[in-house]
Amino acid sequence: MHILNRNSWLAVLVSIAMIWACSPNPYKVTNRAHKKQVRQFAKQLKQFPPAQSMSTAPYWVGTTNFGMRKPNFVIIHHTAQNSCDQTLRTFTLPRTKVSSHYVICKDGTIHHMLNDYLRAQHAGVGSWGYDTDLNSSSIGIELDNNGFEYFDDRQLNSLLTLLDTLKKRHNIPVGNFIGHGDIAPTRKNDPNWRFPWKQLADRGFGKWYADTTGVEVPETFDKLMALRLIGYNVSDSVAARHSFKRHWLQDTTAGWTPEAVKILYQLSR
């Protein structure tokens, strides 16, 4: 019988370690934590009557007419990090307290990190129209982009495919595909000004404007009211204006321009 010497054993151990390090899924541990949380939520849903019940009746009556709460918005982000792996790592560390439903890498790979019907922690403090809890009503999509670069065509193609699926699956209105910077103009600027919103709008994901040639803006036109009608929080009017121009004009300069006012007027109508 052949007996391995000390060096041979070391070689075997190194080989095993390398195989472990190259495991096809390095997130096995955090996946177990994910499944544990899902089971906890499922346990709460199975309570009859629910634990927080306010019923004072002598017996419980459960309705037969209900369904899952569904998302009504899609919010697009850039990761502001340097790689897809870095973002996946960030979203699997409990201490970060941030997450997203989808992460799309530069090469077009889509990571579906959370069920569409569950609440991700991606939007933070912000609002769109009268909705002040976008985490509870939206799907978050993170694009691997450090915030200072253009978006890869492979990444955008995957995004368009995903948006088409989500729009059909959840019946999301055309105007409810927006950016993180739109809902939180004082805090965020993502996806950055290089993001091709018109390309998305041409496919039915977000509103756009028509040719503004010949458009005459009334002297009484209220720009703040128009921004509010579109959905912006105008408590900081400068931030709202900046966010609007970044989204619809890919413009990061200060102040209103005649063209920006025309576009705002047209969109608000």
Q: The tokens of 201 are what?
A: 């709008």
Give the pLDDT confidence of 216-259 residue by residue, as tens digits: 999 999 999 999 999 999 999 999 999 999 999 999 999 999 99
Give the pLDDT confidence of 121-133 residue by residue, as tens digits: 999 999 999 999 9
| Integer Cα distance of 233 and 145 in angstroms | 26
Q: Report the pLDDT value the prediction gives residue 161, as an integer from 0 to 100.
A: 98
End-to-end CA distance of the chain: 87
C-alpha dihedral, 200 to 204 to 209 to 213, nearest 10°: 90
| Integer Cα distance of 220 and 33 in angstroms | 57
Q: Report the pLDDT value the prediction gives residue 8, as an integer from 0 to 100.
A: 53
Contacts of 250 (CB under 8 A, 6+ apart): 193, 194, 197
Q: Report the pLDDT value the prediction gives residue 11, as an integer from 0 to 100.
A: 53
Q: Report the pLDDT value the prediction gives residue 24, as an integer from 0 to 100.
A: 81
Q: Report the pLDDT value the prediction gives residue 51, as an integer from 0 to 100.
A: 84
Q: Report the pLDDT value the prediction gives residue 13, as an integer from 0 to 100.
A: 47
Q: Report the pLDDT value the prediction gives residue 53, as an integer from 0 to 100.
A: 87
pTM of the predicted protein model: 0.89
* Range 230-259 burial, b when 16+ CB lie within 10 A, else e: bbbbbeeeebbbbbbbbbbbeeeeeeeeee
- The answer to whether residues 155 and 105 touch, using CB atoms and an 8 Å cutoff, is yes
Low-confidence ranges of the chain (pLDDT < 50): 1-4, 6, 9, 12-14, 16-21
Q: Report the pLDDT value the prediction gives residue 174, as an integer from 0 to 100.
A: 97
Angle of helix 237-249 relative to helix 223-230, nearest 10 degrees, comes to 60
Q: Report the pLDDT value the prediction gives residue 20, as an integer from 0 to 100.
A: 43
Q: Report the pLDDT value the prediction gives residue 69, as an integer from 0 to 100.
A: 86
